[in-house]
Structure 1
């Protein structure tokens, strides 16, 4: 199916409820620059979703973005084709996208990409889900078909959110884009829950006094499945996801998510300032991005960027999109690049790990009917065993199938980290053999497995950021770093963005929206302005700014 019309809700994050999708859609455009700034080079470090968004919009403004990429365009939107089957891919990073991600869908629609419902556990489009907890298994199409204890857990989660986090009011305000209500309630919740972990919230809620209920909730969770690997994280991280329905109504991008950043690299917008018709990011770069950045230094009122090939170039501004930890050990940079409070925020950043293992199968055999039960021989699987989550993708009965045999986080990911892909396959098939004793999965596997562990990827060192309790102040520093009006010249012109800088790390929407913050920052830094009828995030910052918690006391 094609991308759908705007959903009833959007990822209007209550910390900073700026309507990025409206800013993008406005017919007056994002802004304009003084004529003498046309063609000014701006370095964009990183070719993931944030980097491609920033570079694409800077090009449209008439600047010359110069993209540096350490590995391949796409970042964690990495779609790896199976050998011999280039149209069947393993989504190593981002693979499911909520319809509420309206800024991301602006670009998905621009590129004409097609989407299809993602087979999440117990979703309407998922034929069946098997839950294996403590060796006891239940198969269902919806939560209503599960035993009473699961209904109790679902009701407990809803009750906790309604009673302690004003779920109904906040979701209604997000849908109506009622900024006043969002800010009023959220600012109070930030003060109340900044120091509270996800697990602490559950354990202190009257609805979750039973440890058994908390354990089941950790396994089954909501939306995309179990959330116990998130239990140590700040409750605020979870509330943002819930309020904006980021964990519901998710779709996959047919052919792979990497088509979005790569598509922006090749796309030729019709409304570029300064550049002739037919200009694309690829054409500005001669088809190839620059190699990885080795060093960034301030140079007068600009910046000197050195890449791995030894090439040095001066820029009026730099947009930096990789994980902020790379500033600590992958890129040589002087302390003056950021203020001391920002360096502290970078140091305190916490990343979650994640591992995946994919195999290609001769056909989607899991749809075969078990004659004893009348159910499919395999289902989308949630288990407390090592695989944790098993996802099944088919493109018709006569086409090869794709299995994500394991999708794990944090401690569960570390259990995989020291194993090769082949070793992981052996272990996972052994575990799944206990859950599905009559199914010979290996006999259907074609070729070698494809796997990844994001915490061991040298240019990532983790899947995505997730704040721990008490880290709101650090997150605020990173997110608001694009606001540089009034700062001394020596502190301006270097802009952080990416999903780890956003309030919704792990979602491509956060990469897009913080990239747009950086675009506004560059525009403002170089003397440009937004149209009067289409103010940008910096223009409305004072009215929408995240609550500033006291530092002392």
Structure 2
């Protein structure tokens, strides 16, 4: 019997097969030889910026990259002091296998991935769930009290009741755009203005259960835990995560996710126009530009970017991959470059808070057996302020890493005013209540590493979390790369990033919008995709997301 087709990040709003476009032997496209060597500005050296730059370089353009902070964006792998390879993944740390376009680049640069130690997975080994002062140890769902199984069953039933989820999943597996849109588009109108919490409480399955069941679901979630942070969000955002299996079958990048971009920056590629051995690093003189502070239209029609030192350079096109709020707070963008409806979408985008606290320890001591024969510590989900605690084992005799706390929204704001040492103290105090008598402190080495993305002036938040009614805003941002019908004064500047995508917080959205922008820049400069490998803009009219009336 044939194995079922895998679920991939195909649609559902715009069901275009980005991974097939990437791997087609005909290539993504080409630009006229007269445009070869022209410079394109890329604002941001994160996943979208570097991947778009790599593909534009291959077409014979010179991508010039501006970065206001740290190379890598929210693929930020911080190395603990005194080590070479012990890391804290401050941004993206777990990558679902359905992210086929992202893994294209992981494979291209020769990096390895391994299963992520999520709750109730074999990689985690064991999981502890601590709610309202009661602790449960489990290796799989069947080890937990009945209420947890009832919650899991109820959520699956809710998905079927409200969205015909099995049929939707099959359409994604089959990569059937017509069937997928026939099922998905009615859900857009039905659920855009309703919350995740509304989806839960209005389902027959949860109505038959208690408030306690909803509390448990909010803490443990349907995958990696902590989903009450998303209860106010538009249900469409959650449905996409479920449907595309973004919260399932996740892996981590050995050596750090940032290495995907670091290697792509230095890796030669076969390019039009440029000589053999050309790299992004080489085209940028070995380093990125600094902060971009202004984007404007010149009298000659080209676009000009001014850096923080007051130097202005002209470009054939500009790609902005930074978080959208930076386009009104950090970068002075001429208002005429975007339509007012797009400005509304960019400004009204809502970003969620996210915080992580990591420590390095001398060894993976949590595997030591306790008095009850269980491991001393386990992957932990709790209603305490740590919310999620993860363990990263680098080998029995090597320094290891504990993510003491990964939290969102209100839980992230609780630690916002505090420095790393205070955050560690708060996390340890919480874990000591879950694991009384277990000594974590004596194993800690070096200095902790922490992040609050909302406190970083280059981000102002962790990732987008669309509120009810935000579908129209997302549609405007995502579809901006298709500029055929725009006024000329608004053409040539493009947007990309996971916040522009339909799937914020997942790197696949950053990759897919980067590829949309590549097509946009290519066609803006007179190029095209080959007929046998049409790009996203070539199929936009046929596959474009549902338009809701204003």
Structure 1 residue aligned with 2:376:
377
2:84 aligned partner: 86
2-side partners of 1:403 and 1:7: how far apart?
36
Partner of 1:218: 218
Aligned with 1:416: secondary structure? coil
Cα deviation 1:468-522 (Å, max 9, x = unaligned): 0011000100000001013221110000110000000100100000000000000
What pairs up with 1:108-147 in 2 under 5 angstroms?
A: 108-147=106-145
Q: Distance in 2 between matches of 1:427 and 1:525?
A: 52
Structure 2: how far apart are the matches of 1:73 and 1:450?
17
Q: Which residue of 1 aligns with 2:165?
A: 167
Runs of 4+ in 1 over 2 A off after TM superposition: none
Equivalent pair of 1:120/1:225 in contact (CA under 8 Å): no
C-alpha distance in 1 between matches for 2:53 and 2:290: 16
1:95-117 Cα deviation digits (max 9, x unpaired):
00000000000000000101111
Partner of 1:305: 305
Q: Deviation at 1:361? A: 0.3
1:302 is displaced (CA, Å) by 1.2
1:393: how far off? Answer: 0.4
Number of the residue aligned with 1:454: 453
CA contact (8 A) 1:359 1:448 kept: yes
Paired with 1:256 and 1:430, the residues of 2 have a C-alpha distance of: 29
Alignment of 1:265-414 (within 5 A): 265-269=265-269, 271-299=270-298, 300-371=300-371, 373-414=372-413
Compare 297-306 and 29-38 and name the one that shifted more. 297-306
Cross-structure match for 1:40: 38
Counterpart of 2:505?
A: 506
Distance 1:163 1:486 in 2: 40
Asked if the contact 1:421/1:449 (under 8 Å) is kept, the reply is yes
- Say whether 1:548 aligns with 2:547: yes
Give the deviation of 1:208 after TM superposition. Answer: 1.2
TM-score normalised to structure 2 length: 0.98
Q: Would you say the 8 A contact 2:5–2:174 is kept in 1?
A: no
Distance in 2 (CA, whole Å) between partners of 1:71 and 1:181 is: 43
Question: Which residue of the partner structure matches residue 254 of structure 2?
Answer: 254
What corresponds to 1:102 in structure 2? 100
| Secondary structure of residue in 2 paired with 1:50 | helix
Distance in 2 separating the partners of 1:322 and 1:107: 21
Which residue number corresponds to residue 53 of structure 2?
Answer: 55
SS in 2 for 1:85: coil
Query: What residue is the counterpart of 1:29 in the other structure?
Result: 27
For the residue of structure 2 that corresponds to 1:22, the secondary structure is helix
C-alpha distance in 2 between matches for 1:7 and 1:293:
44
RMSD: 1.1
Q: Which moved more, 1:327-336 or 1:403-412?
A: 327-336
Asked whether the 8 Å contact 1:7–1:100 carries over to 2, the reply is: no
TM-score (norm. length: structure 1): 0.97
Q: Deviations over 1:515-534 (max 9, x none)?
A: 00000000110000100100
Instruction: Give structure 1 stretches of 5+ with no counterpart.
Output: 1-5
* Separation (CA, whole Å) in 2 of partners of 1:57 and 1:263: 14
Per the TM alignment, residue 13 of structure 1 is displaced from its structure 2 partner at its CA by 2.1
Question: Matches of 1:27 and 1:467 in 2, distance apart?
Answer: 37
Distance in structure 1 (CA, Å) of the matches to 2:333 and 2:44: 16
The C-alpha deviation readout for 1:22-77, integer Å capped at 9, x for no partner, is: 00000000001111011111111100000001100000010111110111210000
Give, in angstroms, the shift of residue 182 of structure 1: 0.8
Distance 1:545 1:466 in 2: 22
Aligned to 1:9: 7
Question: 2: CA distance between counterparts of 1:166 and 1:109?
Answer: 35
Q: How does 1:239-250 map to 2 (within 5 A)?
A: 239-250=239-250
Mapped to 2, the partners of 1:151 and 1:81 lie a distance apart of 39
Give a deviation string over 1:267-296, Cα, whole Å, max 9, x none: 101x21000000000011111011110100
Equivalent residue, structure 2, for 1:187: 185
Structure 2 alignment gaps of length 5 or more:
none
User: Does the CA contact (< 8 Å) of 1:356 and 1:406 recur in 2?
Assistant: yes
Quick check: 1:296–1:333 contact (8 Å CA) kept in 2? yes
What is the alpha-carbon distance in structure 2 between the residues aligned to residue 232 and residue 308 of structure 1? 38
Which residue matches 1:263?
263
Aligned to 2:195: 197
Once the two structures are superposed, residues 102-150 of structure 1 have per-residue CA deviations (whole angstroms, 9 ceiling, x without a partner) of: 0000000000101111000111322000000010110101111111010
Task: State how far apart, in whole Å, the 2-side matches of 1:13 and 1:405 are.
Answer: 35
Query: How far is 1:224 from its partner?
Result: 1.3
Question: Could you tell me how far 1:309 is from its partner in structure 2?
Answer: 2.0
3-state SS in 2 of match to 1:87: coil
The aligned residue for residue 520 of structure 1 is 519
Measured after TM superposition, the shift of residue 7 of structure 1 is 7.7
User: Do the aligned partners of 1:7 and 1:99 also contact (CA within 8 Å) in 2?
Assistant: no
Residue equivalent to 1:3: none
Checking the alignment, whether the CA contact within 8 Å between 1:108 and 1:260 is kept in structure 2 is: yes
